[in-house]
Structure 1
Amino acid sequence: MSASNGTSANRFLIWGGKGWVAGHLKELLEKQGKEVSSTTVRMEDVAGVAKVLDEIKPTHVLNAAGCTGRPNVDWCEDNKEQTVRSNVIGTLTLADQCAQRGIHCTIFATGCIYQYDEKHPMGGAGFKEEDAPNFVGSFYSMTKGHVEPILASYNNVLILRLRMPVSDDLHPRNFVTKISKYDRVVDIPNSNTILHDLLPGSILLAEHNNTGVYNFTNPGAISHNEVLALFKEIVRPNYTWKNFSLEEQSKVIKAGRSNCKLDTDKLVSKLKEYNYEVPEVHDAYRQCFERMKAAGVQ
């Protein structure tokens, strides 16, 4: 009956039930034959959270809720109270309510709390899990960077830092969908999270009751131009795009954007213990676009 060996004793509850990542998680768990429920109860609603936890009695909560803004993080600049309510108060409330009941809580967080600096230049070393956040260019990132060390103090919490997540379809939330629709894109290497490769790893980490912080991206960094060149080569041969500089970009966005590479050594070595490997980001994108093409995506 041990919850650490992936037996049917596990009962998963996904927070953020109608969300994009939540939907992928639910589909994955169902395919694996796991017991899974989802909820759309607001995380900051203490009584509502307690009621759902006591009714469903999960062994594992997967928190894929939170506030990223629509259509992007610029929204958070104009809706700061709502952003705090969700990303700070809500996330802490859910983690705390889980802790009081001995429930493991996985938080799908963000790695958009860093920007390249002298110690971590483009093409150089990535940011490790213990590095202090150095990017406060957006209110969204500021809230995420502040709440993470508080969450990490809970011994039931696993924090997974995603960046620029990508699915095998052209869903509006997909990073590729977003940049393919921009008039112009900046060409800077970044860590990316290909959901097909990483989400199975999140289930493994949760089932083995891992806690603490993990950079949750494919190894390496890939530039926007490299992504779009692969997209053009494999999925949409007639696709074209233009670049612009960070200075030019700053004139058309309210909030700054994080650009960084995350170090994935901790994640890769931990998942290897469970015989699970995460492909390097360039290989992962090629495989992702091949899956898109095979599914008829254009």
Structure 2
Amino acid sequence: MAANGTANGTGTGYANAHPVFLVFGKSGWIGGLIGDLLRQEGAKFEYANARLEDRAGVLADIERVKPTHVLNAAGLTGRPNVDWCEDHKLEVIRVNVLGMLNLADICFTKNIHLTTYATGCIFHYDKDFPEGSGKGFTEKDTPNFTGSYYSYTKAMVESLLKEYPNVLTLRVRMPIVGDLVYPRNFITKIIKYDKVVNIPNSMTVLPELLPYSIEMAKRGLTGIMNYTNPGAVSHNEILQLYKEYIDPEFTWANFTLEEQAKVIVAPRSNNLLDTKRIESEFPQILPIKESIIKYVFEPAAKNREEVKKAVREMRGR
């Protein structure tokens, strides 16, 4: 391990009480939220202009800003969903593989801490990790889900990034925000569907966890972090909360994974991630269902009629 890191992933050599942040992903969802948080806390930061695959441009951004820490929220996830990646494999490789390694390598050569918002959709329930058992995949477990090209490349890159002692890889899953009509919000997605599968999953409540990621960077944490709230919550549980807090007349139906497979291109990941590491750093972290209630449904309930109307218009009902 390099002198500026530690073998257990604490990365104390990268800790900095007065960090300068460079943020990649200025036009993206998470990148925008990160910028808002950094402004609120009066942090010194700038957005990068370069695309990840443009090595000269990335170097120019780093020379311009001279960051102590890079926060990367850039990458391709596909629009309107990850099925897009199945027909755009070269674009996915260029950005999510070559671009990500490009950024990590440059940060390493410049002795800069890099936090990257990755994905935990690289695992799925199996005989060793059965659904409902409470046994979660740890940071040390080898990814076992390659059903989508997006997940396949993400698992590949995660494995390679482990060789860089300056990198913190955050496994985000099914990210959630308070805006119930924001199209990339996981809750918004399932509210819009007529039918959903009903499977418990680990998820990431961004209003609670995004501030933790900035603190992780300041602490110089490295390695892999399961970046989700403790526990799992099912689709039905979330929709039931929407029914209870917002719209008592809301209805939905379930379908099986086999039925879902007929209307999507690539399979989806369903899993439970072990959260012992993030809990050790932030003991105050809320279990997933409690976090959703606090950061999504209790605030939304204060404007119940407006939210209900907006959601019904979104659903065309």
Task: Give per-residue Cα distances to partners, 1:210-259, cap 9 Å, x unaligned.
Answer: 10000000000000000111112112333211110000000110000000
Query: Contact between 1:189 and 1:221, CA under 8 Å: does it hold in 2?
Result: yes
Match of 1:66 in 2: 75
Root-mean-square deviation (CA), in Å?
1.3
Q: TM-score, normalised by structure 1?
A: 0.95
Which of 278, 281, 291 aligns to 2:285? It is 278
Q: What are the within-5 Å matches in structure 2 for residues 97-108 of structure 1? A: 97-108=106-117
- Structure 1 unaligned segments of length 5 or more: list them: none
Q: Give the letter for the 1:281 counterpart.
A: I
> Of 97, 110, 116, which aligns to 2:119?
110
> Hey, what does 1:244 align to over in structure 2?
255
Q: Does 1:130 align with 2:140?
A: yes
Is 1:290 aligned with 2:298?
A: yes
Amino acid at match of 1:230: L
The 5 A counterparts of 1:202-217 are 202-217=213-228
Q: For the structure 1 residues 253 and 183, does the alpha-carbon distance in structure 2 shift closer, same or farther, using more than 3 Å as the test?
A: same
Normalising to structure 2: TM-score of the pair?
A: 0.89
CA distance in 1, matches of 2:158, 2:235: 27
Identify which of 264, 269, 274 aligns with 1:263.
Answer: 274
Distance 2:291 2:262 in 1: 33
Pairing of 1:1-298 with structure 2 (within 5 A): 4=15, 7=17, 9-124=18-133, 125-170=135-180, 171-272=182-283, 277-287=284-294, 288-294=296-302, 297-298=307-308
Code of the residue aligned with 1:76 in structure 2: it is C
* Range with greater deviation from structure 2 (250-259 or 286-295): 286-295
Does the 8 A contact of 1:235 with 1:290 survive in 2?
no
> SS of 1:107's equivalent?
strand
Q: CA deviation at 1:4?
A: 2.7
Q: Percent identity?
A: 51
Secondary structure class of the residue paired with 2:140: coil
CA distance in 2, matches of 1:121, 1:194: 24
